[in-house]
Structure 1
Amino acid sequence: MDRKVLIAFSMTVFIWGSAFPGIKVGLQSFSPEHLALLRLLIASAALLVFAAFKGIKFPDVRDIPVILLLGFLGFTVYHAGLSFGEQTVSAGVSSLLVSTTPIFAAILGTAFLKERLSKIGWLGSFIAFFGVALISVGTGNSFTAVSFGIIWILIAALGESFFFVFETNYIKKYGFINFNIYTILAGTVFMLFFLPGLGTELASASTASTLTVIYLGLIPTILPYFAIAYVISKAGAAKATSSLYLTPAAALLISWLWLGEIPTLLALIGGALTLIGVGLSAVKGPKPDQESVEPAKKAT
């Protein structure tokens, strides 16, 4: 792998991994909804400056409803759900739960895009969700509270899955960076519903929490998407999306160093099963209209 690609890939894994413990620190002073709102407001402000500097044009009017919907699912639902979930679920375990996103995406692709998930893929899905069940049992906290937290995080993963599944055509049209700017701004618009009370929390927030939320808005919400776009352009989508498998390892390590979080053995076993299942679920079946033709002949 090229050195620049490796740096971009490593940066993506580390930064996304740091977001999970960062949310925990932010929640010490902010409510989940205000944390998600402030994070997206900061990201949107930075992206508006970037868009003005680069002269990025507005999307086509006919695409705005879809952009709003995908922004709501990929950013409003994802960030709010993750913030609510991390009230009761540890940062490291949250990252393991978010890694179920590819499974939801595969199932949605099967349901809406007529893609086929292989038998191994379905087996991987069952293994992954069994891992999620073990995580819920092995968190070491109140089962009821953790269960609600896990549901929130799985909702976040589902929202992100819808975003990943249906963004493809629009990325082709607008480009990866432009489309993410549009959808982050769209997701922020929906979060404005929670604006009342944000000023009060900001005034009383600790310096550590405030600086951490600024970091979340400027770094994990923006830079990994730029880095992933670079990796995709140089090494292809397969290597780029493999960051989803390594992010939980980074999150667990950073959570241990930053917060002193040590997951239980059962939660780690569940996390390992989840990641194994996610890997297996990536094995796709043949397309419905696929013919038994050699690749070289298809190209002619």
Structure 2
Amino acid sequence: MTRLLAADALAHPAAAPPAGPGPEGIRPGAASGTTAPGRWSRLAAPAAVAVTVTLWASSFVIIRWAAPVFSPGPLALIRLVAGVAMLTLMVLVLRRRMPRLPRLRVLAMIVVYGALWFAAYTVILNHAGHHLDAGTTAMVVNVSPILVAVSAGLLFREGWPRSLFAGMAVALAGIALITLAAGDGQISLVGVVLALVAAVTYSIAMLLQRAVLPGMDPLTVVWLGCAAGTLAVLPWAGQAWTELQAAPAAAIWGAVSMGVGATALGFSLWAFAQTRMPTGRLAACSLAVPAVAVAMSALTLGEVPTPLAIVGGALCLVGVGVAQLGRR
């Protein structure tokens, strides 16, 4: 139901109540003091966020599960090919025509955003999945809202409240604990570094996307970005073909499902939510991703982060939460 609701919102982002009166001169829903479209409009952004959080959490688990089968580059290519195919279908069905390309400057920003978020972030995240369990990876990557908040304060003039710096301190303490666990040999230090690089890449890409969204259709932005990311990972096409021939069907479908779900639907719904919610508040919503990823990983893979990593990850999430307290 939430996917259908969000898809309808994507198809009609500016839907409004009927202009004309009803049979008795009363607009539909006027008796209750609010129109039905108004209720749907209020629910659309939270529903989009909830679906996206679930899809993105599942991708951490699938990446970890597919690590023995696919190398990072080929896995990214399979995912993105499936994603751009699904996005093309969504554009044709929901828009009923191919959208016009934006101005050259905006298109260049979309290409950079796509290359960073869809290509670089995905490949780096896949590398991290070879070294860390899904839950720890998700916890480290999700320090990105703090990076987004700091940058948004400068670029979008959203301010730097004291709570932001307090949250940064708490989150850094959490990262220190996770790094300590890596130093003790409990988890991979390489994996922690890769997850942190993925977080930085994610943050830069999210800010670029936020910059181009006000004058663009969200679905078109994601579609063009995914196409740019797919082109960026094409050098792995030969290796991907070789690994596909030896891969079990379940692993292939897992990679494809990430493209259709986490990439096409997830990124589209997230872009839609960005047009309805403040940047800082939306970034804070991603705090739910690690918790869902840890639960999924424990149930499906039997993997649970080490105690020290759990404490460190919890501090990271608390820090991100504290950083959002002072944001409007």
Alignment counterpart, residue 124 of structure 2, candidates 81, 85, 106:
81
Q: Is the 8 A contact 1:70 1:163 kept in 2?
A: yes
If asked which structure has higher relative contact order (CA below 8 Å, sep 6+), I would say: 1
Give distance in 2, aligned partners of 1:230 and 1:237.
Answer: 12
Q: Is the 8 A contact 1:139 1:264 kept in 2?
A: no
Q: Residue in 2 aligned with 1:275? A: 317
What 5-or-longer segments of structure 1 have no aligned partner? 287-300
Q: Residue in 2 aligned with 1:59? A: 102
- Is the radius of gyration larger for structure 1 or structure 2? 2
Q: Is the 8 A contact 1:232 1:239 kept in 2?
A: no
Q: Residue in 1 aligned with 2:72? A: 32
Greater mean deviation of Cα atoms: 228-237 or 162-171: 228-237
Give distance in 2, aligned partners of 1:60 and 1:4.
Answer: 29
Letter in structure 1 aligned against 2:69: S
TM-score, length basis structure 1 = 0.85
What 5-or-longer segments of structure 2 have no aligned partner? 1-38
Alignment counterpart, residue 111 of structure 2, candidates 68, 88, 102:
68
Deviation at 1:236, TM superposition (A): 6.4
Give distance in 2, aligned partners of 1:3 and 1:45.
Answer: 28
Deviation at 1:113, TM superposition (A): 5.5
Deviation at 1:12, TM superposition (A): 2.2
Change in Cα spacing, 1:123 to 1:233, as seen in structure 2 (3 Å) is closer
Q: Does 1:107 align with 2:153?
A: no
Number of matched pairs:
285
TM-score, length basis structure 2 = 0.78
Q: Residue in 1 aligned with 2:138? A: 95
Q: Does 1:10 align with 2:50?
A: yes
Give distance in 1, aligned partners of 2:240 and 2:184.
Answer: 29
1:1-300 matches, within 5 Å, as 7-53=47-93, 54=95, 55=97, 56-110=99-153, 116-138=159-181, 142=185, 146-229=188-271, 231=273, 240-283=282-325
Q: Is the 8 A contact 1:117 1:283 kept in 2?
A: no
Greater mean deviation of Cα atoms: 130-139 or 250-259: 130-139
Q: Is the 8 A contact 1:15 1:219 kept in 2?
A: yes
**What is the alpha-carbon root mean square deviation over aligned residues?**
2.7
Letter in structure 1 aligned against 2:243: E
Question: Deviation digits for residues 85-135 of structure 1, max 9, x if unmatched?
Answer: 111111011111111111121233356556542332112112112212212
Give distance in 1, aligned partners of 2:120 and 2:50.
Answer: 26
Q: Residue in 1 aligned with 2:11? A: none
What SS class does the counterpart of residue 219 from structure 1 fall into?
helix
Letter in structure 2 aligned against 1:274: C
Greater mean deviation of Cα atoms: 249-258 or 117-126: 117-126
Change in Cα spacing, 1:227 to 1:82, as seen in structure 2 (3 Å) is same
Letter in structure 1 aligned against 2:55: I
Give distance in 1, aligned partners of 2:70 and 2:184.
Answer: 22
Letter in structure 2 aligned against 1:18: S
Q: Is the 8 A contact 1:116 1:284 kept in 2?
A: no
Deviation at 1:264, TM superposition (A): 1.7
Deviation at 1:239, TM superposition (A): 5.8
Give distance in 1, aligned partners of 2:110 and 2:45.
Answer: 29
Q: Residue in 2 aligned with 1:292? A: none
Taking only the aligned residue pairs, the percentage that are identical comes to 27
Deviation at 1:226, TM superposition (A): 3.4
